[in-house]
Amino acid sequence: MSRSRLISLSLLAAFALSAVVLTPALAEPKKCGVPSPTHWAFCYNNGEEMTSQKAEGSGGTAILAATIGGEAKFECESSTLVAELESSGHGKGAITLHKCTELKPKHCRLTGEEEKEIELQFAESLTGKLEKGKSQAEFAGTGSYEEIYKLTIEEETNECMIAGSYTVNGKQGAELPNAESSLTEHEVVATKLLSKLKVGGNNASLTSTDKLKLSSSHDGSSAWYVGLGA
């Protein structure tokens, strides 16, 4: 057997052995509550950092408001939230607003499809310190310029002055009350104060409260919390 072939076989054997040795270490789950944290993380009840876990929730009345034509206000009877929570406190999903009506201005209305539901696609990330009154999570659009949705307003009568199509973009902050407590259900509270949304370039906000829970248990528990990871 040639010397070069012996060297190649030796390298292949060494690589295979190193893969066997390294695989268990790579599979070891990251832990929350580490001494030198680098980020906020979604954590399972057993202290492991969450990776690719689906979650879902629902809420009551939700209000989308914007300074179009003075003030435009849309009220929706309920909301549902579907998300995939990922490592390092990131995620993605959609907030869907159901049975929506335009309250302001008068003489205008949403399209028939939007009256049924408005689906807002988002990317999510945990932000800042977990302090009341500060944004603890942020929902941003996934399209260009953080585009979230294209809202269409129609004339109910010819007195409607804002009929047209408007791009919804930007970011919406949210509080997570009791974020660091291990619970099976957590509130996600979006408020006007924490909003950086725009509708057609006009200042806008989403006000809603959804209760979010994991779609499946982990290590026999459905409880989760927000902790520090590395």
pLDDT average, residue stretch 97-121 = 96
Structure confidence at residue 26 (pLDDT): 52
Residues 160-179 pLDDT 10s: 999 999 999 999 999 999 99
What is the pLDDT at residue 38?
Answer: 85
Query: 82 vs 6, 132, 176, CA distance in Å?
Result: 55, 24, 16
Distances (CA, A) of 87 to 2, 40, 82, 127, 183: 48, 9, 17, 14, 19
pLDDT at 6: 37
Q: pLDDT-based confidence at 22, cuts 50/70/90?
A: very low
pLDDT digit string, tens, across residues 61-85: 999 999 998 899 999 999 999 999 9
